[in-house]
Amino acid sequence: MTHRVLGLLLILWLSVPVTAQTPWQPSRTPNGQPDMQGLWRNGTVAMVVAALSLESDHSRWQAEVIIQSATQPPNTNTVLPSYIVDPPDGKIPYQPWAAAKRQEFIATMMTPTKREHVDPHARAWLDGVPRVNAFPPPMQILQTPGYVILVYEVNHSYRVIPLDGRPHVGEHIKLFMGVSRGHWDGNTLVVDVTNQDARTWLD
């Protein structure tokens, strides 16, 4: 009988609607932003390979095979998660011309015949967004009134993200890291990035 009572109590406790629970609230900066400040490092295998592919299919990338074999048990075929959550299939919805360019880079990056076939990261160019966020070296997040600032160890790059609703710059200006504009949606920082230089790679 005791087991039945305990089981019933457990079921009732698990049945409490999520809405009745107190939602988690992050600490706040003095000006009210959710506090994300500090040093952050992408230390997982998934993040290492995301620098080469944001999608879940990593079979094309020779360097990733080496990384996975060093960090996973032998004879495993683990599929790492995609960083793309929309669309649900985890694939980047490339336009036809962009998909063709990507296939060209995949075919030639290990045996380049043109300068543009060499990974921009290997050329010490800024990696662009979102790729810069996928590299393992740490980044620092700073917050000041009206801004979020990301400082990366990778190629000594940085991003200043204004939160004041200012417009993007003219479309003729192209930058390696693009132009970021952000706003808070509750506790989520939403960043819109435009004006990216065509010489950077998405992944």
Q: Within a domain: residue 182?
A: yes
Looking at residue 136, its pLDDT comes to 74
Residue-level pLDDT at 141: 95
The H or E element containing residue 158 is strand 158-162
Residue 183 confidence (pLDDT): 96
Per-residue model confidence (pLDDT) at position 88: 83
Report yes or no on 3 lying in a domain. Answer: no
Residue in the block written with tokens 């435009």: 194
Average pLDDT of 117-144? Answer: 88
Looking at residue 91, its pLDDT comes to: 83
Does the structure show a pLDDT above 70 at 60?
no
Closest listed residue to residue 42, CA positions, set 157, 125, 133: 133
Q: Do the domain assignments include residue 201? A: no
Instruction: Look at residue 155 and tell me if it is in a domain.
Output: yes
Cis amide linkage into residue 73, ω under 30° from 0: no
- Report DSSP state, residue 134: G
**Average pLDDT over every residue of 86-115:** 87
Is position 114 within any domain? yes
Residue 99 lies in a domain: yes
Residue 140 has pLDDT above 80, yes or no: yes
Prediction pTM value: 0.72
Whether 59 is in a domain gets the answer: yes
Partners of residue 179 on adjacent β-strands: 194
Number of Cβ atoms within 10 Å of the Cβ of 179: 21
Kindly state the helix (H) or strand (E) to which residue 11 belongs, with its residue range.
helix 2-14
Residue 40 domain-assigned? yes
CA 25-28-31 angle, 5° bins: 140
Mean pLDDT of 99-119: 87
Of 2 and 148, which is predicted with more confidence? Answer: 148
Distance CA 16, CA 179 (A): 45
Q: For the chain, how many structural domains are there in total?
A: 1
Mean pLDDT of 137-153: 93
Range of the structural domain that residue 157 is part of: 26-194
